[in-house]
Amino acid sequence: LQQDGSGEGGQQQQQRQQERDGYTTILAAATAIEAEFAAWQAADRELQGWQDKADQAYQLQQQKRPFELTITQTRSRLEQQQRQGQAQAAQVAEAASERVQIAAKIAAGQAQLAQLEGEMAALTAQEQAYQEARLALQQLESERRLWAQEQQQLTRQRQQVGRWQEEETAVSQNLTAANQRLIELAAQLGAIGSQSQRHAAALAERDSVQAEQPRLREQMNKLKERLDRLSEEAGSSCPLCGQPLTASHRQEVLAELQQDGEELAARFRDNKKRLADLQSEINQLQATLQETPRLEREQQTQQQRLAQAEARLTEIRQAVTDWEAAGAVRLAELDKLLGDETAISAQKQQVATLETAVGRKTTLEKARQTGQRTLSAHEARLGEIDRLTAAWEGEGAAALAEVVRQLARGDFAAEAQATLAQLEAQTAAVGYDAAAHEAVRQRVKGLQTAVSRHQELRQAEAAVKPLEDALADLGQRLTEQAELVETLAGQQETAVAHLESLRANSSDRRAIEDEVFRLREVQISINRRVGAAQQLVGVLDDLRRQQGQLQTERAALTQRVQRLALLEKACGRGGVQALLIEQALPDIEDRANELLERLTGSEMRILFETQKQLKSRDAVAETLDIRISDSAGERPYDNFSGGEQFRVNFAIRLALSQLLAKRAGARLQTLVIDEGFG
């Protein structure tokens, strides 16, 4: 016992020392770890400084964009006015030459109209007779068209009656087949009913046998455990009376238990075979019973088929009767009416004779209308040319000269240009360098392992002191256990010697047996105390292992928390999401403004703003505001008209669709917009 206790304690002490040596190795590199961690902190502070400059530069860039937009809008408006003025000057020059030609055309057109009106007056008398004859012909043709339509309908109806008569034979056959199938299905369903009762009985028997199997298995397991204990334990007691077992009595008990086990196993195997037979029978019955829903559905289908056939047969017979009573008679009458063309031929001849006489007037009327439209167009164009020339000479020429002067000198949006120059100077003063920012970011990334090593150092510092205390405590416990084992061993030797003395010096057998029994109890008590001491040593070892596992889990959880915090920051509004939005918004804004310039003649523009100044403190907040402006300045979205709002919405949606198509490597050929607003 002393050797076993000392061996286990020594192993535990060796494990503690190995753990302490591992932590000591980490502590030996503390200076290097602290230096590397300090370098990481310095680089991180430098990175934060560059990030602050980047934020300031971005904020200044956002502040410049409204003024850049104002300057661009003003320049675009002046350039548009210049193009319009130049186009108007060219139109005025062309109109002066065109005016002479139009005046000559007006004089010639007036003379031609006077000649046509004289010729048309002579043809007015014959026009009335032609109109009356033409109206009568239209009435005859309309009446014959109605007869022809009715004739076509009745002809189709006669063809349909023929098809109905053919269908009547097929429907009668279908009716007979449905009746026969219903008789067969009724017989099959009646035969299946008796098998349902046997299926229920088989299920009940299977459930009963299945419920018995776990109980039999549990009894066999318990019996096997008893057999194993009797076979392995040399000094066991009888399981029935509790008395110590002799060798012969042990064999009898083992034989009885073995026989009980064989009986239970035979019962278990019989049940298993019976379950297989029942399951096979149940499967066969289920296969037969599963046909019942199909047969019932088919029976319902055949009943519907029978009802439909009877209804269709009645419908066909009624339709044929109705046709023979009315339709056939009316069709014969229409054939006779359409076959007589005497009246319509005579009317057509009369219309043709009168049409030749008045045809000349129609030609003259068309020529007169054409000449009148041409003359009106020339007069309207002449007035338009006079108004265009007057407007150009009054205001257009002077306005064009002023626009050209402003564009040449850059004399526009003076306040916006001055403010923009100040903001550009402030941007230069910030001193942001994107390359230096990226270099520091890469340096911080390279030093990232310093954080985990510094965490391991702190864990080692926290773990060494408890580990040394545990080693000292374990050494003391080992010493105490060794002393206890030696004391108990001495007591055991004393008891054995006393027992031998009693056997040698006493003739009283009963006293000797009592003393032997007492000494055995002392030995059992000593063994229990030794076992308890060994259990305490084992508990200490388990607790130490649990402490090591918990420290490992703590380190892993700490590292995971750090990674999740970094991931949370990257996936938050200020991380990857903000970066993607900042990269995509300028492209969307440019595309949308290009569309708005085409839709509004450079009158409207939009600006995306992703940051705004907080009123409560000196900081900025992430946002996404769309600022809209036109020639009158910037206004809220609700202050624009419905058409202007629609154009803004359409431009942004189309720009976003173009960007998505570009990133997907596809062409935007079709765009479907369900709602124009919003």
pLDDT of residue 2: 41
Helix (H, G, I), strand (E, B) or coil at 620: strand
Mean pLDDT by 10 residues, the chain (678 residues): 47 64 72 80 82 81 82 82 81 79 82 79 71 81 83 83 81 84 78 71 81 84 82 60 66 80 84 83 76 78 83 83 80 80 79 73 79 83 80 78 81 81 84 82 79 73 64 68 73 72 60 70 75 70 74 78 73 64 81 86 83 67 81 83 86 86 75 65
Q: What is the pLDDT of residue 519?
A: 73
pLDDT at 373 (0 to 100): 86
- DSSP H or E run through 619: none
CA distance 671 to 673: 6
pLDDT value of residue 72? 82
Angle at 300 between CA 297 and CA 306, to 5 degrees: 140
431: left (phi over 0), alpha (psi -120 to 50) or beta: left
* Cα-Cα-Cα-Cα dihedral sign, residues 614, 620, 622, 627: positive
| C-alpha pair distances (Å), 545 with each of 225, 459, 470, 550 | 33, 16, 12, 9
Q: Which amino acid is at 253?
A: V
- Identify residue 249 by its one-letter amino acid code: H
Cβ neighbours for 432, distance < 8 A, ≥ 6 positions apart: 50, 53, 54, 56, 57
Give the separation between CA 661 and CA 671, rounded to whole angstroms: 11
Contact between 397 and 86 under an 8 Å Cβ cutoff? The reply is: no
Q: Which two tokens stand for residue 520?
A: 């055995």
Concatenated DSSP letters for 257-320? HHHHHHHHHHHHHHHHHHHHHHHHHHHHHHHHHTHHHHHHHHHHHHHHHHHHHHHHHHHHHHHH
pTM, two decimals, is 0.33
Among candidate residues 69, 43, 50, 55, the one with its CA nearest the CA of residue 579: 55
Domains of the chain and any CATH numbers:
130-334 (1.10.287.510), 576-663 (3.40.50.300)
Residue 606 to residue 589: CA distance in whole angstroms? 7
Two tokens, residue 316: 């066909």
Residues 231, 237, 238, 240: is their CA dihedral positive or negative?
A: negative
Pairing between strand 620-630 and 605-613?
antiparallel
Residues 6+ apart with CB under 8 A from 223: 257, 260, 261, 264
Q: By C-alpha distance, which of 564, 649, 562 is closest to 604?
A: 649
Nearest CA to 278 among 361, 187, 382, 207?
207
**pLDDT for 6:** 46
Model pLDDT, residue 4:
45
How many other C-beta atoms can be found within 10 angstroms of the C-beta atom of residue 161? 17
Nearest 5°: the CA angle 189, 194, 200 is: 115
